[in-house]
Amino acid sequence: MSIKDKIGGMLQGLIEQLGEKVVLDLVRRFITRDNIVSLLDALFDKIEDLVMRSDTKMDDKLVLPMILKLRKTLDVPDND
């Protein structure tokens, strides 16, 4: 079973137990700009760490500039 299927099953169970309006309210409260920015920052940090630890330098030249551009475009500061 994939992670997508597991999450879908968990959400379906929550909806059945709590009701659709309650679950949607919880999701709306969780999905804030600050939470999304924090998640993206953590994701970008992880990718940057993996790229910098790799032996090849080609990914440094390709991936790191892309992440910088994404950070700038999406307004996701690097909060290390």
Write the pLDDT tens digit of every residue in 37-73.
Answer: 999 999 999 999 999 999 998 989 999 999 999 999 9
Structure-model confidence comparison of residues 25 and 77, the more confident one: 77
Q: What is the pTM of this model?
A: 0.68
Angle formed by the axes of helices 20-30 and 3-18, nearest 10°: 120
Burial, 67: exposed, middle or buried (Cβ in 10 Å; 0-12, 13-18, 19+)? middle
Give the residue extent of every domain in the chain: 1-31, 33-80
Tokens of 63: 């991936």
pLDDT digits (tens, 9 = 90+) for 4-47: 888 888 888 888 888 888 878 888 888 899 999 999 999 999 99
End-to-end CA gap in the chain:
34
Contacts of 60 (CB under 8 A, 6+ apart): 51, 52
